């Protein structure tokens, strides 16, 4: 497993906006950890001390509500995860669990904040990603409440086909219970 940011196969557009000296700082202020399917990457209620970048794999964001756990979103690598809870609150407002074997990069929060302050292109990219994620959350919320279970199930399968696996045939990596949770059905 390579730990060098410059050689990372999953460098995002955001990282391409970084200067060589900033990439070098990033290389010296992060750690890469592998997670098996089902492993907890972050836990709701714990301190959030690092920026989390999903280098490889798929993860689910889920939150424990008053009655049960709710899967909020599935995330495919490469992608930053939990930026709002890390930067905005310092306490994880939700949990993240590996759906497939995954590789995660934990980046020093202070360095990430410096990169945002120093690099306009990098900060613009991060803001754009946060906006896209918020709009997607609104769309999902509207669909979940306005569609019937079959429509939500079809949407979930299309999400796996079009965005997660980018294939017509795949094996669902989540349990029947998770499927019901994801489409708001019991």
Instruction: Judge if the upstream peptide bond of residue 78 is cis by omega within 30 degrees of 0.
Output: yes
Report the CATH number at residue 23: 2.60.120.10
Express as a percent the part of the chain with pLDDT over 70. Answer: 89
- Domain coverage including residue 114: 13-182
Note the pLDDT tens digit of each residue in 28-82.
Answer: 788 999 999 999 999 999 998 899 999 999 999 999 989 888 898 999 988 888 8
Which of 6-10, 95-99, 153-157 has the least mean pLDDT?
Answer: 6-10
Note the pLDDT tens digit of each residue in 111-130.
Answer: 989 988 988 888 888 888 88
What is the C-alpha to C-alpha distance for residues 64 and 41, in angstroms, rounded to an integer? 15
Q: What would the mean pLDDT of 98-120 be, rounded to a whole number?
A: 91
Contact 104, 58 (CB under 8 A): no
Which own/partner pairs from 118-124 qualify as long-range (CB within 8 Å, at least 24 positions apart)?
118/22, 119/17, 119/18, 119/19, 119/22, 121/17, 122/14, 122/17, 122/18, 122/22
Closest to 18 in 3D by CA, of 108, 115, 109: 115
Assess if residue 98 is contained within a domain. yes
What is the C-alpha to C-alpha distance for residues 59 and 163, in angstroms, rounded to an integer? 13
Query: Is the confidence at residue 10, as pLDDT, over 60?
Result: no
Per-residue pLDDT band for 9 (boundaries 50, 70, 90) equals very low
Assess if residue 103 is contained within a domain. yes
Per-residue pLDDT band for 167 (boundaries 50, 70, 90) equals very high
Query: Is the confidence at residue 85, as pLDDT, over 60?
Result: yes
Assess if residue 117 is contained within a domain. yes
Assess if residue 2 is contained within a domain. no
Assess if residue 62 is contained within a domain. yes
For 79, list phi and psi in degrees, rounded to 5: -165, 145
Assess if residue 6 is contained within a domain. no
Specify the number of domains making up the chain: 1
What is the C-alpha to C-alpha distance for residues 36 and 41, in angstroms, rounded to an integer? 10
What's the mean pLDDT when you consider all of the chain? 86
Interhelix angle 120-146/149-159, nearest 10 degrees: 150
DSSP state of 30: E
Assess if residue 85 is contained within a domain. yes
Assess if residue 116 is contained within a domain. yes
């Amino acid at each position: 497993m390579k730990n060098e940011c410059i050689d990372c196969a999953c460098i995002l557009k955001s990282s391409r906006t970084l200067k060589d000296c900033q990439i070098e700082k990033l290389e010296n202020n992060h750690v890469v950890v592998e997670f098996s399917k089902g492993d907890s990457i972050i836990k709701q209620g714990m301190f959030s001390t690092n920026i989390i970048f999903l280098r490889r794999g798929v993860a689910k964001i889920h939150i424990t509500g008053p009655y049960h756990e709710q899967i909020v979103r599935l995330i495919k690598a490469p992608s930053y995860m939990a930026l709002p809870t890390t930067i905005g609150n310092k306490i994880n407002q939700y949990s993240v669990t590996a759906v497939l074997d995954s590789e995660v990069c934990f980046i020093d929060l202070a360095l990430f904040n410096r990169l945002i302050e120093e690099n306009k292109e990098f900060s613009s990219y991060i803001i754009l990603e946060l906006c896209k994620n918020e709009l997607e959350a609104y769309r999902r919320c509207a669909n979940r409440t306005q569609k019937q279970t079959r429509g939500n199930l079809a949407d979930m399968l299309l999400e796996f086909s079009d965005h997660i696996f980018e294939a017509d045939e795949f094996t669902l990596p989540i349990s029947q219970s998770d499927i019901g949770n994801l489409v708001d059905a019991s």
